[in-house]
A and B are shown apart, each in its own frame.
Chain A
Amino acid sequence: MTKDNKKDKKKPVKIQLLKTPTGISGLDEITEGGIPTGRPTLICGEAGCGKTLMSLEFIVRGALEYNEPGVFMAFEEKTDELASNVGSLGFDLAQLQREKKLKLDYVHIDRSEIQETGEYDLDGLFIRLNYAIDSIGAKRVVLDTIENLFAGLSNQGILRAELRRLFQWLKEKGVTAIVTGERGEGPSLTRQGLEEYVSDCVIVLDHRVINQISTRRLRVIKYRGSVHGTNEYPFLIDEDGISVLPVTSLKLEKEVSSERVSSGIPALDNMLDGKGFFKGGSVLVSGTAGTGKTSIAACFANETCNQKKKCLYFAFEESPRQIIRNMRSIGMDLQKHIDKGLLLFHASRPTIHGLEQHLVAFHKLIKYFKPDVVILDPITNLITVGSISEVKSMLIRLIDFLQEEQITVMFTALSLNTIVSEQTDEGVSSLVDAWLLVRDIEFNGERNRGMYIMKSRGMKHSNQVREFVITDNGIDLVEVYLGPEGILTGSAREAQKLMEKTNEILKNNALNLKDREIDRKRKMLASKIAALQTEFESAEEELNKIYVEDQLIKNAAADNRAEMLRIRSGSSQIKEKK
């Protein structure tokens, strides 16, 4: 407990300004909660930049999502015009009016009908507004565009005093108000200097055309008593209303996953430590024209869908049908994944809108589809709508966003030169986690594709170049031939292989010959040995014969001598006996 108390002392309780969420996607993030509750906010900008829509969306979202009824007082457009204008966005103003959640009041000021004589005040407007607020218990009020009063009335002194009183009155009334104003000439934000009266929160809308591409932007230039994003944020008006992107997340505190996803090319997975890319990582495939970048991307998409995961494919160059047809030729059926709802193509021309709006569109679609893998093919085309640094910053934000959502992303990029060491044009190679480079290897009058892994963060990866072959059954990587003559690919590699095969046969043949010769020699020697053996045997026999004869003679001689002795002695014995 004591610890807790200490902590409390260290951190003084921050008194937060009460904020009213606008319900406009993104705007509440920028303002960290919405616009100040019970105070007027000024939205200003040039004609056609979305002021009326933004303020109307504030009212409608308040009524629908936050159960805060609102009054929309229009000085420009008639109520039925307004209703039909926003009908396309799915806002049913008539229905909301019937439900007493919304009150539209059109204040018509026509100078030709009006004469001014003497003193007057705008109590009529106050009463009307008050009546409208009280009749539905409104918490939100929009005055669009109050400056029209200046066009209808000539007594500026009265008007200014009355406007000051009006804003004071709105504050006392405790309603959260939005006042819109046309952007004025020079440094002033509005034509009549409304910002002088509304000092709590000022939002400027802008509609800029750069290189013939228009981008709407929003900036909170003032927000008294609150932190807020100060950058210019692009916003988009589409069928769901306004979306603003608080795109730059400044932190690098993303969750990381060590889960792996297959690239769809087994041989490529092998090069990547045998497992493939990291989930939530970013992969760049760059190469010159016609090196098969789209095929790699499609292969990845195909594999993702085969794993029953969802893939979102942004195509900037080819139409979905074109890609499907082309991929069918290498044995991939993407159509079946589309039918299952696992694959979604989103094809758009890069020039259709500015980069920021592309980003907004990406965000929206990603949030809607919730894919596991996103493919952008190719990012190079985006350069036609922005400068290199703009494209880069946009891609940083996109990668940031995707990593936060744990979505794996694959970009393809066309590199205009073939020098490997050079960066891709968008300079995103330093941002991505893995970079595959597909390169033309021109040799011997033919072009082959070689693939390197330039980098792959956090995993072992092969440093070898592989030949990248596109067959009827998909993509495969083949080891290139590394011979004394250097790297050989394609038919040269095949030729080299054949040559090796021939050599092998010849060598085998030669070996066989030698073997046989040795065999023969052995046989010859063996027969020679046999002959010598017989010769030796006969010689031995001869010798033996002599020896035996000799022995026989010796024996016979001995016998004879003995016989002789006996005979001789016998006779003598007889003599002696005698």
Chain B
Amino acid sequence: METKRYRYELRLYIAGKTAKSNAALTNLKKYCEEYLEGEYKIEVVDLLLKPQLAEGDQIFAVPTLVRKVPEPIRKIIGDLSDEEKVLVGLNLRPVT
């Protein structure tokens, strides 16, 4: 059990190791290192292995990044290739 609370708790839903999911994970890690160093936690959920988890977070597209903390929950779908959109989506940067 992890007791430490991070400022950002992120969960990335993927379906197998596809090109899209790999790209999404790489992109995500890059942004987090850049903007949220030490303040984030990434959990990767492979729906092929745990399909029952899809319903809980209302996942219908993959890859989907879910920001669990801070509230409210935000979702970003796609391979996260657009840095601006991801940062806005995660509320790291105000809409310019």
Contacts and interface: CB of A to CB of B under 8 A. Distances in A.
Interface stretch (A126-134, A175-183, A226-234, A475-483): A126-134
B81 A117 contact: yes
A22 B58 CA distance: 29
B75 A127 contact: no
Interface in A78-130: 105, 107-109, 113-128, 130
Name which of B47, B48, B73 has the most chain A CB atoms within 10 A of its CB.
B47
B48 A118 contact: no
Contact of A118 (B54, B74, B79): B79
B92 interface: no
Contact of B15 (A115, A118, A124): A124
B14 to A, nearest CB: 9
B78 A127 contact: no
Interface in B53-87: 54-55, 58-64, 72-82, 85-86
Contact of A117 (B48, B59, B62, B89): B89
Contacts of B88: 115
B73 to A, nearest CB: 7
A330 interface: no
Nearest to A152: B60
Contacts, number: 97
Given A109-B60, A122-B61, A117 B85 contact: yes
Nearest to B74: A113
Contacts of B24: 118
Given A107-B58, A127-B47, A153-B61, A117 B74 contact: no
Nearest to B64: A124
Contact of A121 (B20, B72, B75): B20
A118 B61 CA distance: 12
B51 interface: yes
Contacts of B3: none
Nearest to B73: A113
Contact of A115 (B23, B58, B77): B77
B80 A118 contact: yes
A342 to B, nearest CB: 55
Contacts of A149: 60
Interface of A: 105, 107-109, 113-128, 130-131, 149, 153
B82 A125 contact: no
Contacts of A153: 61, 77
Main secondary structure of the interface of A (DSSP, over half): mixed
| Chain B: number of interface residues, binned into ranges | 20 to 34
A142 to B, nearest CB: 16
Contacts of B48: 127
Given A115-B74, A115-B77, A123-B47, 17 more contacts: A113-B75, A114-B75, A115-B88, A117-B78, A117-B85, A117-B86, A117-B89, A119-B23, A120-B78, A121-B61, A122-B61, A123-B61, A124-B15, A124-B59, A124-B60, A125-B61, A127-B54
A128 B59 contact: yes
Contact of B79 (A105, A107, A108, A117): A117
A150 to B, nearest CB: 13
A124 B13 contact: yes
Contact of B77 (A105, A116, A128, A130): A116
11 contacts: A109-B58, A109-B60, A114-B75, A115-B77, A118-B79, A120-B61, A120-B64, A121-B61, A124-B60, A125-B61, A127-B47
Contacts of A131: 51-52, 54
A116 B78 contact: yes
A121 B62 contact: yes
B61 A115 contact: no
B86 A115 contact: yes
Contacts of A109: 58, 60
Given A115-B85, A125-B61, A127-B15, A105 B55 contact: yes
B76 A115 contact: yes
Nearest to A162: B61
B81 A119 contact: yes
B76 to A, nearest CB: 4
A120 B75 contact: no
Contacts of A105: 55
Contacts of A114: 75-77
B60 A125 contact: yes
Interface string B26-61: 000000000000000000000110011011001111
